[in-house]
């Protein structure tokens, strides 16, 4: 049995329908999905945060809430898709929407438009290269010179 890597069962079940408890996931059923979500999130954010930060996320208790929510959505989406695979030939719109939300949030983190707060309450520094990381850019003063300075 794999440990809960980034998300607890509550983090996962929060995104699943509760009617008659059909879609709720229980311990042991999420093992492989936990590993999938762990790998996906690490892969997506490896260039965004320093690896020492990401490597510190060893359990849900040490993982930022935003990452726990994203992991919960990914696992819930895959779990729900597996549950309804026989009934919905084209896949579940609910599961796909949940998965798309999680990926959009990961992309927002990578783009610097979604802030991640660490378990210590401090904002995590986004180390991704963004447009303002390069010089010159639109905020740089334009180059200026005169012919006299150049050819003197």
pLDDT per position as a tens digit, 41-84: 999 999 899 889 999 999 999 999 999 999 999 999 999 999 88
**Total of domains in the chain:** 1
Nearest to 103 by CA among 74, 130, 125: 74
| Rounded distance between C-alpha atoms, residue 113 and residue 22, angstroms | 36
Does residue 13 lie in a domain region? yes
Q: Is residue 69 situated within a structural domain?
A: yes
Q: Residue 1 falls within a domain, yes or no?
A: no
- How do residues 77-104 score in pLDDT, each as one tens digit? 999 999 888 787 677 889 999 999 999 9
**4 part of a folded domain:** no
**Residue 18 resides in a domain:** yes
Q: Give residue 15's pLDDT.
A: 92
Within a domain: residue 116?
Answer: yes
Establish if 2 belongs to a structural domain: no
pTM of the model: 0.79
31 domain residue, yes or no: yes
Domain assignment of residue 59, given as a range: 9-151
């Amino acid at each position: 049995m794999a440990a809960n890597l980034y998300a607890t069962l509550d983090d996962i079940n929060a995104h699943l329908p509760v009617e008659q408890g059909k879609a709720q996931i229980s311990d042991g059923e999420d093992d492989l999905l936990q590993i999938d979500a762990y790998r996906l999130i690490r892969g997506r954010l490896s260039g965004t945060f320093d690896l020492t930060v990401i490597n510190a996320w060893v359990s849900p208790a040490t993982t930022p809430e935003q990452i726990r929510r994203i992991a919960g959505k990914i696992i819930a989406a895959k779990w729900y898709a597996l549950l309804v695979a026989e009934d919905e030939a084209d896949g579940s719109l609910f599961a796909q929407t949940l998965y798309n939300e999680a990926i959009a949030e990961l992309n927002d983190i990578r783009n610097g438009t979604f802030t991640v707060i660490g378990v210590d309450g401090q904002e995590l520094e986004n180390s991704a290269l963004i447009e303002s990381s390069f010089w010159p850019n639109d905020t740089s003063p334009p180059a200026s010179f005169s012919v006299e300075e150049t050819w003197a």
